Structure 1
Amino acid sequence: MSRTTYALRPTVDAWEWQLRGSCRDADPELFFHPELERGAARQHRDAAALAVCAECPVLRQCRQHVLAHREAYGVWGGLTEDQREEIWAARTDRRRLRRAG
């Protein structure tokens, strides 16, 4: 028997948390900006999406997923696209510093 088989599990177990997301009952357009949306309109839409996330019972799992899989678009895990980019950039900077040190 392969040593890796212990890590395999049914797909439903890995993704079941998504069924409990607060976003499932919200308008999907709230979480993804229309093309060329900028300024106050985008800030208001993001704030409304983040309010849904703030009450979500699976916020932690969603955030872990989106940061691990580098989802580039939309509000996920209580983070906007710009917030995720900042997190990823900070991680990259820390890795560079460790390698240089």
Structure 2
Amino acid sequence: MARPKIERRIGCRPAYSCFKPNGVPMKELVSLRLDSDELEALRLVDMQGLQQLEAAKQLGVSRQTLGNIVASGRKKVAQALVQGLALDLDGYMPTP
């Protein structure tokens, strides 16, 4: 049996539900789901420039787990950019 996933502390929510290539209808695209913890890890490490240990503390996971989350998120973003896929952003919360 798989170990239960530790609850992550997510400090941001995406402004939109997806990112996709311009000019291509969403129904014609393959999409990859970028989980909220992957987006948060990318924000902390790549956008804010935090060291992985500090980012891991903020996310509420170990440094090794954060490294795995960052690697997974980067792979999905790179794959979407190179192959022209859409990124479905988990945790989308529209503003009223």
Normalised by the length of structure 1, the TM-score is: 0.32
Query: Which structure dedicates a bigger proportion of its chain to strand?
Result: 2
Bigger relative contact order, structure 1 or 2 (CA pairs below 8 A, ≥6 apart): 2
Normalised by the length of structure 2, the TM-score is: 0.33
Larger radius of gyration: 1
Query: Which structure dedicates a bigger proportion of its chain to helix?
Result: 1
